[in-house]
Chain A
Amino acid sequence: MAYALQQLINGLTLGAMYGLIAIGYTMVYGIIGMINFAHGDIFMVSAFIAVTAFTILAAADVTSIPLALTFVLIVSIFFTSAYGWAVERTAYRPLRGSTRLAPLISAIGMSIFLQNSVQLTQGARVKPIPPVLEGGIVLWDAPGFTVQIGWSQMLIIVTTVILMSAFTWMITQTPFGRQQRACEQDRTMASLLGVNVDRTISFTFMLGAALAAVAGVMVTVYYGVVDFFIGFLAGIKAFTAAVLGGIGSLPGAMLGGLLIGLIESFWAAYLWAEYKDVATFGILCLVLMLRPSGLLGRPEVEKV
């Protein structure tokens, strides 16, 4: 029982991070109808930026943890959004209105490019940072097993909840959110009504990248190690989360993320830890077979 509770906490933490990345996939899919394969690598870039920023702070003897976290978050969000913008501008915008296959191939090329440029500039080795947030609260001191929620886990869950609320408010209430939703429904019509479609799409990419940046910082804080390959698996899992929740649906992405996180940690704890990635792919295939529109998505109708 205590063990299961601990897995629940771990799963929620993992799920919150997948959810943050999944929103990037779902928003981009909603607005231009393509899978942004490079999104996982954007997340990886943000983790590297976070490592560099933490190391700079350590060298400058900054000891206040809230200050350090805020600084790292801002830096990481800024640079990662720039990456998100640049990727869209160079690799996807020229291909708008091209064949269906072209942006997908361009995206996969971008993903390979980002992965290898990070490997070349930052090195192929794993980068460890000293633990930022240690310890936590003991929730339940059961005999033989202690259930504990770490400070970093709390940070992740709380940040995700705050971000999600802010994000939902932004999409439902602000002018940008309205433009974004208008473009999602009908790009041509939106542009006829004076919405700057290009700018909205750029901003969507930056927003997705910013959320991925938060996830990147969280991963760095939580695990303490990053390498240039983390984007690949995280990307696939977050995409699975987006599909599970219903691609195009924002609450769906978050729900899917949480479910994938929970399934993964329970699978690893009770079944075969080495096959936990297989479990995620299995879910992806099952969802696509049984309910392609996901849990909260609407069925897609293709119009000519």
Chain B
Amino acid sequence: MSAVVFARHAMTPAERLRDAGWVAFVGLILGIPLVGLTTVDVGGRLGVETRFGLLAAAIAAVFAGRLLLRWAIDQARNRKQERDRASTATAADRAHGAQRVVNVLGWVALGASIALPIVFSDNRYVVDTATTVLIYVMLGWGLNVVVGLAGLLDLGYVAFYAVGAYSYALLSTQFGWSFWEALPVSGAMAATFGILLGYPILRLRGDYLAIVTLGFGEIIRIILVNWTEFSNGPNGISSIPRPSFFGLEFTRSAPEGSQTFAGFFGLEFSPMHRLIFLYYLILVLALLTHAFVSRLRKLPVGRAWEALREDEIACQAMGMNTTNIKLSAFAIGAMLGGFAGVFFAARQGFISPESFTFTESAIILAIVVLGGMGSQMGVVLAATLLVLIPEFGRNFAEYRMLLFGLAMVLIMVWRPGGLLSHREPTVRLNALDKAASTKEATR
């Protein structure tokens, strides 16, 4: 990493100019066919349109950007060297300090998320957006088990999300199951799919898993689109029942023999009640997920995941059954995705295969990668960022996936740990470790 970010020596201005010129030249070659030229529809036939102004602007931006980047890198490098010389704090101390900040941040975020619907109790937009953020947080935490902890790249995570959503949709519309009855069954269903898919593939090297899951996500979508008798095809399933508050419906008037939420508590009916209830529901689900995953990390199986991520061959040599360990991570990740899918179906009341495309998988993966694989708080941060960016305007929404892709590459190149990196083992031998770090600090 350091070889990339920090050149072996600081560059002279002339070198920087030459470097930027070279990058701009490459940019020019790459830009001519895609930016400089474009084909447009002219009366039923294609015609070529030139955009050399735009190309020139883009190249100038690349040139200036590269120049600036090089300069910034040299500056950062100098500063880092000075800091290293001046301070005696070890990397472990700094990581410890950062961890404390993250913990405080976590409590603040928790408080804010509990208070949010109370403060914005009549702002539908805010509560809705916050609910979306929480769905992505939950999905991110689920995928984090697979990618962040066990180090398996799953590119079809949305398939399990879809399995959960369709399980609930079909169980409730066809068999009249309630949300709470369907939730565990749908989760188990998603986990079963995870095991069925993972079992043959997880014995092989990790790269294959990536492409097979990619294919699996696509298969599920194709089946949902084409098998109309089962899933109603591209039209999707509508009028999925909403969850009720212990049997109290969130409607204006209750059906025979039951009461409405507003009526029971003597409140005036408001459609916001349901939204706020849904918000708290996903908040509770997400927090349960968090607690579950945090506990798992400290159990032998969680430690085995982290060990596997670091060195598979060493794990095998230690006599660990790598297939089963990977399978457990994969199945638990799938189950959490299934839970999120159930909530998604219950919240929307309508699902169709369009909600479960590869783009969705890519967004969830981007959340995990950007947040820092293995970091729970990082996922929250990244999910908030990625959901809010497109809300700032149509332009942002258009460039969203472009920026995600770019960010994934840049993060990998610049900071493979992610925004809040957490590659420290969750459990370590405390007494030994403290002794070692104090010794290092006093030296």
Contacts and interface: CB of A to CB of B under 8 A. Distances in A.
Is B a genuine binding partner of A? yes
Interface in A84-126: 86, 90-91, 94-95, 98-106, 108-118, 120-123, 125
Contacts of B222: 274-275, 277-278
Interface in A235-262: 236, 239-240, 243
Interface stretch (B45-53, B91-99, B180-188, B288-296): B45-53
B406 interface: yes
Contact of A284 (B29, B40, B147, B215): B215
B4 A94 contact: yes
B26 A86 contact: yes
A300 B45 CA distance: 51
Interface in B147-168: 147, 151, 153, 155
B215 to A, nearest CB: 4
B33 A112 contact: no
A34 interface: yes
Contacts of A233: 218
A35 B204 CA distance: 14
B218 A288 contact: no
B155 A127 contact: no
A118 B34 contact: yes
Interface residues of B, number: 61
Nearest to B359: A112
Interface string B1-17: 10110000000000000
A285 interface: yes
A74 to B, nearest CB: 13
Given A117-B34, A120-B399, A288-B208, A99 B416 contact: yes
A55 B408 contact: no
A52 B409 contact: no
A109 B361 CA distance: 12
Contacts of B369: 105, 109
Given A106-B408, A127-B46, A302-B313, A236 B39 contact: no
A35 B413 contact: no
B215 A281 contact: yes
Contacts of A123: 38, 40
Nearest to A303: B313
B409 A113 contact: yes
Contacts of A105: 153, 365, 369, 408, 412
Given A109-B407, A111-B405, A292 B34 contact: no
A82 interface: yes
Contacts of A90: 409, 413
B218 A98 contact: no
A51 B39 contact: yes
A239 B211 contact: yes
B48 A112 contact: no
Contact of B226 (A34, A129, A236, A274): A274
Contacts of B201: 285, 288-289
A83 interface: yes
A55 B33 contact: no
Nearest to B35: A121
A233 B214 CA distance: 10
Most buried by B among A82, A108, A289: A108
A70 to B, nearest CB: 17
Given A108-B365, A116-B405, A278 B33 contact: no
A52 B207 contact: no
Contacts of A112: 362, 401-402, 404-405, 408
A128 interface: yes
A168 to B, nearest CB: 26
A122 B39 CA distance: 7
Nearest to B217: A281
A56 interface: yes
A102 B412 contact: yes
A52 B153 contact: no
B216 to A, nearest CB: 7
Contacts of A130: 45
Contacts of A99: 151, 416
A59 B206 contact: no
A34 B398 CA distance: 30
Given A55-B39, A121-B38, A275-B226, 19 more contacts: A35-B207, A49-B34, A52-B37, A82-B29, A94-B4, A94-B413, A98-B416, A101-B151, A108-B362, A113-B402, A127-B39, A127-B46, A236-B214, A280-B215, A281-B212, A281-B215, A281-B219, A289-B200, A292-B208
Interface of B: 1, 3-4, 26, 29-30, 32-35, 37-41, 45-48, 147, 151, 153, 155, 200-201, 204-208, 210-212, 214-216, 218-219, 222-223, 226, 313, 358, 362, 365-366, 369, 373, 398-399, 401-402, 404-409, 412-413, 416
Lowest 6 CB-CB distances: which A-B pairs, in order?
Answer: A109-B408, A113-B405, A112-B405, A281-B215, A116-B402, A106-B412
10 contacts: A45-B34, A48-B33, A52-B39, A55-B46, A90-B413, A104-B210, A106-B412, A113-B409, A278-B223, A284-B211
